[in-house]
Amino acid sequence: MKIIMLGAPGAGKGTQAKMIAKEYGIPHVSTGDIFRANIKEGTELGMEAKGYMDKGLLVPDELTVKILLDRVAKDDCKNGYVLDGFPRTIPQAEVLEDALNKLNDKIDFAIDVNVPDENIIKRMSGRRACLKCGATYHIEHVPPKKEGICDVCGEPLVLRDDDKPETVKNRLDVYHKQTQPLIDFYSERNILKTVDGTVDMMDVFNAIKAILG
């Protein structure tokens, strides 16, 4: 079972990807993790990717797909995998599809965790973090015992730049421009499944399980 997770930043697709991986005994494959692992191990592909990253350039789609295929060719992926964070654009999806076709392989499901922008902005702007110990909170869902103070170490909590409404809105604009077209791309291939990401995390997961069977 080969699955791609789609959804805007903050929609909770990473959390769902990890839960799917655990439930079905398949690896959660994040492109960021693969890059870091290849660079750390000093592989040929990793060094090639590092060359681009060190210059502040994006790693070309073909190289990203090569690194990805190298990862999913490993034994632990023989029963499938959950892709998180790739593809992000139509060209990436096309390169991935072509590469899988050559291997007589394909993606089985593209799952879109659908959450309206206003929910995401509210969700992310409610996050608070402790810069000292790394503990995270949410003013509505996981509030600290004392407002604005970390339960663990007593330091003041902050709203990170990444979670500020204007930053989240910019990230959502990029998502709608670049990644939203993937919804049509996978819909045309009859593998797109959409779940309501505004409900409780376990309800989202149960909806995904009903799709995957």
The CATH number of residue 194's host domain is 3.40.50.300
Residue 193 in domain: yes
Q: What is the mean pLDDT of residues 16-38?
A: 93
Q: Report the pLDDT value the prediction gives residue 57, as an integer from 0 to 100.
A: 86
Q: Is position 106 within any domain?
A: yes
Q: Which of 50, 122, 169, 171 is catalytic?
A: 171
| Tokens 């210059």, located at residue | 55
> Domain total for the chain?
1
Residue 145 lies in a domain: no
Query: Is 171 among the residues known to form the active site?
Result: yes
The model's confidence at residue 63, banded by pLDDT at 50, 70 and 90, is: very high
Annotated active-site residue in 18, 50, 122, 160: 160
Which is catalytic among the residues 18, 50, 88, 122? 88
Residue 148 has pLDDT above 90, yes or no: yes
Range of the domain at 34: 2-115+177-212
Residue 36 known to be catalytic: no
For tokens 């869902």, what's the residue? Answer: 141
Mean pLDDT over residues 105-109, rounded?
A: 96
Residue 24 lies in a domain: yes
pLDDT of residue 114: 96
Residue 67 within a domain: yes
Identify whether 72 is part of a domain: yes
Active-site pick, 2, 66, 123, 127: 127
**Mean residue pLDDT across the chain:** 93
Give 119's pLDDT tier (boundaries 50, 70, 90). Answer: very high
Look at residue 54 and tell me if it is in a domain.
yes
Across 32-44, average pLDDT: 92
Strand segments, DSSP code E, in the chain are 2-6, 28-30, 81-84, 109-114, 127-129, 136-138, 192-196
pLDDT at 7: 93
pLDDT exceeds cutoff 90 at 178: no
Residue 128 annotated among the catalytic residues of the structure: no
Is residue 31 predicted with pLDDT exceeding 90? no
Q: Residue length, the chain?
A: 213
Q: Please, what is the Cα angle at 7 between 195 and 81, to 5 degrees?
A: 85
pLDDT value, residue 68: 93
202 within some domain: yes
